[in-house]
Amino acid sequence: MKPGFIFFLFIITLCTQQMVKFNFIFEALFLALILLFPDFGASLNNINIIKADKCSLYQGKWAFDPTYPFYQPKSTAQPNGCPFIDPEFDCLKFGRPDTAYLKFAWQPDACSMRRFNGLDFLNRWRGKKIMFVGDSLSLNQWQSLACMIHAFVQNSKIVYNRQGTLSSVTFQDYGVTLLYYRSTYLVDIIGGVLKLDSILQGKDWMGMNVLIFNSWHWWIHTGSAQGWKTMEYRGKQVTDMDRHTAFRIGLTTWAQWVDRYVDPTVTKVFFQGISPSHYKCNGQQQPSAASASQANVPQEAKIVYEVLGTIKKPVTLLDITAMSQLRIDAHPSVYGGTGAGVDCSHWCLPGLPDTWNQLLYASLQ
C-alpha cells in the first residue's frame, strides 16, 4: 500500500473524530494528493505561474493616457526617434492620420502596473541576452522593446544587425543584447516537411538569459503561404491535418524541449500568448470599452493554456489575448508601408506591443 494512501486514511480518521482544525485538514489532504499523485502538485504550480501574476495584470480595461506613447519613430521631424521599426509597423510614417490609438494605457482592475523604465531594465539585465523566438508577432514585440529602451539611452553605443533568421540590437554600454530568432512554427521545417516532433533549431536558443516564444499565425496559412509541403509526425508524413491538432502537437514538442534543455537557474522562459487577428480593422480609431473578462477565449489560446500546464520547468505566460482583442484600432490596416493591402494581424509601433513589453518588464522584476 502506498505511503500516501496510508496517510490519506489517517487524515480521514482524524476528521471523523474531530481532532484537528479545518485548516490543518485541508493542508494535510493536499499533501496526501501530492504523495498519491506526484504530478498533481507540479501541474497546479504551473497553472498558477502561467495564468496570472500576483495582482492579475491581465484583467482590466484600456484608458486614455496623454503621457503615451513611450517613443516616436525616427523621421525628419524626429531625428532621435526609434530607428528599429520596420515599414510594416511604421503607421505614422506611412500616413495614418489619427493618433488617438497611441494614447491608450492598460489599466488592470485590481492593481496598478509599474511604468516602464529603460535605464532600470538595462541595469537589471546588464550583460544578459534576451531572445524573442517566433514569427512576425515576435518581431513586432522585439522591435517594440528595442524602441522602448532606446528612448532612454538615445546617445548610447548601439549595434543593430539584421541577417537571415537572426537579428539583434546590442546596447553596448550595458552589455544587453536583444535578439530575434525567426521560427514561425517553433518546430523544424526540413526539405519542405514540417516536422511536428523535431526542434533541431533549439540549439540556437541555448544560453540565453530570457527566452520569449510565440507561435500560431502561420499554422492557419494554406496553399503557397503555408511554408511547407507535407507534415511529419512519428516518422509518418501526411499532406495535411486539422491545424489546431497540428498546433497542439508542435507546441507539445516545444514544451518537451523546454523541460529537457532549459536550465531555470540560467534562463527565464516566457510564452507570448496568442495575438488575435481582427480581419476587418480599416477605419477603426478607438479600442473597445469592454473589459478583458468579456473577451472570448479562442481555441488556440486554450491549447496554449493546456500545453503550458504540462511543463515542469517554470514558464510564464504573457496572456495578451483578451487585452489585444479589445484593440481593433491598433493594427496597421492600410498604413503598413508594404503595399500588401489591409493588415489586421500585426500592430503599429508605437502601439499595443509596448504594453506587452510592460507586462514582460513587470514579470522580470
Residues sharing a CB contact under 8 Å with residue 280, sequence separation 6 or more, in sequence order:
344
From the list 304, 327, 300, the residue with the least C-alpha distance to 317 is: 304
- Residue pair 246/300 in contact (Cβ under 8 Å)? The answer is no
SS3 at position 187: coil
Q: What are the distances in angstroms from CA 256 to CA 95, 123, 246, 259?
A: 45, 33, 15, 5
CA–CA distance, 229 with 223 (Å, rounded to integer): 9
CA gyration radius, the chain: 23
Give the catalytic positions in this structure.
136, 343, 346
CB 336 within 8 A of CB 91: yes
Coil, helix or strand at residue 316: strand
